[in-house]
Structure 1
Amino acid sequence: MSEMIDENAGGRVVVVGAGPTGLLLAGDLAEAGVPVTLVERRHAGRSNLSRALVVHATTLEAFDARGIADDLIAKGAPVQALRLFDTAVVDVSELPTPYPYLLVVPQYETEAVLQARLDRLGVVTRHETEVVGLRQDADGVALTVRDADGTREERAAYVVGTDGHDSSIRRLLGVEFPGHTVVASVMLVDAVLADPPSLRIATNTDGDKFAFVAPFKDGYHRIIAWDQSHPKAESEPVDLDEVRAVLHATLGTDFGMGEPRWSSRFHSDERQAEHYRAGRVFLAGDAAHTHSPAGGQGMNTGLLDAANLSWKLAAVLRGRAGDALLDTYESERYPVGTAVIKGSGRLLRAAQIKATPARKLRNLAMHFALQRPLVNRRIGFALSGLWVRYAAPAGAHELTGHRAGDVPLTGSPSRLFEALRGGGFVLLAPTELHEPAAEAGVRTAVPADGGPVRLIRPDGYIAWAADTPGAEEVALAIRASGA
């Protein structure tokens, strides 16, 4: 556990929005010793909101580094392959990660695991609390907060808006959120299927109609469906006959779909905030970017936004780094958000091809392309987030900015993700180079792979690397990184 920061000295962070992104961010800050307040306009209690249903490999790696991956995996159904466009199959079982699969799990279960971590850390969420005003100066942020006790002003060193696509924080900042609706009247249904698909995830489209079917661990299946030739208002209840018709048209069967335990209708936008940072206020998750449900990227991208920002806020508040470090949150995560919007958009537009000859050509091309291991791997990397690399300074080692992966270690802990637990940097180096790290309070480990010396950021990316550095070079790298 890092040293505690004095809240009375202006070190508090307010996180607005207790969805997955806000829960992870608040937990990281608390674990780093940063006083954090989490506010949520919804009432307390388990939400039945369940739009997000896939947790990808990089997110599971982030959960592993926090000691909560096993808790989530126990609630989900691992799926190693999905059928895409008729007979094309994406296989993620060979991805270079401890988690070579998609974990299908309702969003509320992901939130429950993150909430349990917050409970262990003693963070209390203030529900039914809304931020209705915001102004900032050189020393902090003044928030006007409204709850059951009335309206009052509170101050914080920094504020992070993780309050969804209709973000009040983004609106109060005046940050534009350009984009447009790409799919209207998307139907979500959780139901038992009497005859589920043989390949656990199935998806297909005929242009106007689209269907996606995936299993939960408890025997229910999530169905995502739309029919753009007959869109309905979001206020309209989901018509099960309409869902069955879409399933028959795209997948040839309704799989014996029973009565749902939950259903919803929504629309999907492609939007990205013009900036992720405005002074002492940040945007993350759906408050910063939204896109089509294709690829299941939304919640995962937001969670990794939080993992990127949390350690940087802690480093600045602890006096380990200057304000410029906080600018790297936007410079690193904005391009990721842009790429996810473009990638999911391309997949969506491929699904919306209407002409029958063009659809048949798409299906045939995808079928044969995905039989090539290199193509399958590239699509798996795109879905899982394993492709993300952050820019490195000129002249830096080629590993700088890359995801570190779960490096095997000598002794105990035996792997990097375990060494990262509790937050903080980890230096992977021979024992003779450990002294500069120990003096700076940075954890050390000896890599079993014998590779270059690497300084690993709390979010699992390589902050600095060198092949044969001396102790002084290691000490300089630690100071420069904000560790």
Structure 2
Amino acid sequence: MDADVIIAGAGPAGLMLAGELRLGGATVIVLERMPHRSGESRGLGFTARTMEVFDQRGLLPRFGPIELSTAGHFGGLPVDFGLLDGGHQAAKAVPQSQTELVLEQWATELGADIRRGHELLTLTDDGDSVTAEVRGPHGTERVSAPYLVGCDGGRSTVRKAVGFDFPGTAATMEMFLADVRGLDLEPRMIGETLDAGMVMVGRLPDGITRIIVCEHGAPPRRRITPPDYSEVAEAWKRLTGDDISHGEPVWVSAFGDAARQVTEYRRGRVLLAGDAAHIHLPAGGQGMNTSIQDAVNLGWKLARVVQGTASPALLDTYHSERHPVGERLLLNTKAQGLLFLRGREMQPLRDVLTELITFDEVSRHLAGMVSGLEITYRVGGGTHSLLGRRMPRTDLVGSRGRTTSTEALRTGRTVLFDFEDNSRLRRKVAGWTAQVDVVTAEIHGDTANNPLSGTAAVLVRPDGHVAWAAPGSHGDLRMALESWLGAPDECVSLAGAS
């Protein structure tokens, strides 16, 4: 084998997955068709959930100063994300090109082998391993690994080669997106509906203006190359009467409202993540964020499987946990598309929803849906409110001074937080010391409104989700450890020796 895992695609999902696998000790080869990063800005910023993910890996400082905001929207209708518990904030105006640069540098530092200019042509899963045929700078070669993950976008070669079912709805319209220099346009919120279509104007750093334009009745086209800027300028003039043809395009793209999702995220030794698994209308910048979160869910599980410390059955939880998230993503982006892409016949619905959003409970629900903060995995029965949810960032104080729960997750390992200095509980973890860190500390600061108030201990997976809590979980700690981490270390060692 050339590596433990082959990843096809060096976008945000592939690069995040590469880093997560390396944290878990797996060797990784990333195959990317393009010889250089595109530099396109596409996704702009991160949702509050992705902010948490990057924070738990210590990546946020690499982005430099970040503009934060609790302002969001649902289908162009303003939603206050500050109503969520903890006042979660999202990052604004961070171009996807910067996100990819940060993730590539991080994954490379961890030891990922990123091979640009290497295009995956086809692959074979023989039941024991996967072999990819790759066209690179020096001709065609074969690369093999126990597992391969397709992170190669909406037109995924991996998805097509393996024959994943990809049901859904085809595009019904075409939209243009362009980042342009030299335009002096007033900002226009997404959702501003004209008689013949929709337009949006946003200001980006360095004097760049982002515009989106959609003409009603514009048929979807299967393009091999990006549209010419003249098409964008002509459509803009037809809708607004303004001439923007003098602008200098940085990059131009066309997209549609197709909505599809694979029926299974894993087939044999091949898995899919990100846009390879789900495509949808880019509403609220959710695509890149969901893709990154797919990778974080999969990375630690796949690392354990390839190293023999967990059964391949653990990979089934990747599908069971992330497929419903993808379904939810398609649902809300379709709903948003109806709100900001359809004509004035949708105005009564917009007016009613605008009234509903004034109720805090409705705003919390929509904000949780779009941000990903609502996600709860099934990790076993129990009554604790955090089971299956992300461990909230919590200030802690212990024998080594002050720290946070987030900092304890930096290494990508499972963590047992012991809030009552319970030596009996810690002895139960002794068989998994190669996989579990134990943090003995007290919760610092106001505990009255902290969801951990009254909690004796929690077991947190490498992806930051709570897998067990006391009191509140059905079953003891050992049962949870065996469920997520497999047999104790000494049993694995004996099996390997035999």
Q: Which TM-score tier does this pair reach, normalised by the shorter chain?
A: 0.7 to 0.9
1:135 aligns with 2:124: yes
TM-score normalised according to structure 1 size: 0.87
Q: Does 1:377 align with 2:364?
A: yes
Q: Name the amino acid aligned to 1:60.
A: M
- Quick one: distance in 2 between partners of 1:133 and 1:301? 26
In structure 1, stretches of 5+ residues that fail to align are 1-7
Q: In the TM superposition, what whole-angstrom CA distance separates every residue of 1:325-369 from its partner, at most 9, and x where no partner exists?
A: 110101111111011011100110222432x3x433233223322
CA distance in structure 2 between the aligned counterparts of 1:71 and 1:371, rounded to whole angstroms: 37
Secondary structure of 1:271's counterpart equals strand
CA positional deviation for 1:84 = 6.2
Find the aligned partners of 2:453 and 2:385 in 1 and give their Cα distance: 16
CA contact (8 A) 2:383 2:473 kept: no
Contact 1:40 1:128 in 2 (8 A): yes
CA distance in 2 between partners of 1:257 and 1:384 (Å)? 37
Aligned to 2:496: none
In the alignment, structure 1 residue 241 sits paired with structure 2 residue 233: yes
Q: Distance in 1 between matches of 2:85 and 2:235?
A: 37
Aligned residue identity for 2:184: A
Describe the SS at the equivalent of 2:335: helix
Q: Which residue of 1 aligns with 2:255?
A: 266
| Secondary structure of the structure 2 residue equivalent to 1:414 | strand
The answer to whether structure 1 residue 444 and structure 2 residue 456 are counterparts is: no
Q: How far apart, in 2, do the equivalents of 1:313 and 1:65 lie?
A: 19
Contact 2:83 / 2:360 at 8 angstroms: preserved in 1?
Answer: no
Tell me the distance in 2 between the aligned counterparts of 1:121 and 1:372.
Answer: 46
Q: Which residue number in structure 1 is paired with residue 49 of structure 2?
A: 58
Ranges in structure 2 where 5+ consecutive residues have no aligned partner: 444-451, 487-498
Task: State the match for 2:458 in structure 1.
Answer: 454
> In structure 2, which of residues 60, 71, 84 is the aligned counterpart of residue 81 of structure 1?
71
Q: Which residue of 2 aligns with 1:21?
A: 13
Determine whether 1:161 maps to 2:150: yes
Q: Which residue of 2 aligns with 1:464?
A: 468
Aligned amino acid, residue 377 of structure 1: R
CA distance 1:303–1:132, shift in 2 (3 Å): same
2:280 to 268, 291, 295: 291
Q: What is the aligned counterpart of 1:67 among 58, 64, 75?
A: 58
Contact 1:37–1:123 (Cα < 8 Å) also in 2 = yes
The match for 1:334 among 319, 323, 327 is 323
Structure 1's 378 and 469: CA in aligned 2 closer, same or farther, altered over 3 A?
A: closer
The 8 Å contact of residues 458 and 468 in structure 2, kept in 1 or not, is answered as yes
Equivalent position to 1:280, from 260, 266, 269: 269
Equivalent residue, structure 1, for 2:192: 204
Aligned partner of 1:5 in structure 2 is: none
- Note if contact 2:10-2:151 (Cα within 8 Å) is conserved in structure 1: yes
1-side partners of 2:243 and 2:406: how far apart?
42
> How large is the Cα RMSD of the aligned pairs?
2.9
Partner residue of 2:305 out of 305, 308, 316: 316
Amino acid at match of 2:314: L
Are 1:293 and 1:344, in contact at CA under 8 Å, matched by a contact in 2? yes
Q: 1:207 to 1:399 in 2, by over 3 A?
A: farther
Distance 2:426 2:186 in 1: 54
Does residue 479 in structure 1 map to residue 482 in structure 2? yes
Cα-to-partner distance string for 1:226-254 (whole Å, 9 max, x where unaligned): 113345754541335335447748xxx89
Is the partner of 2:25 in helix, strand or coil? coil
Normalization by structure 2: what TM-score?
0.84
Q: CA-to-partner distance for each residue in 1:66-93, whole Å, 9 max, x for gaps? A: 111232363x54333246677x421223
Is the 1:427–1:456 contact (alpha carbons within 8 Å) kept by the matching residues of 2?
yes
Shift of 1:183: 4.8
Partner of 1:213: 201
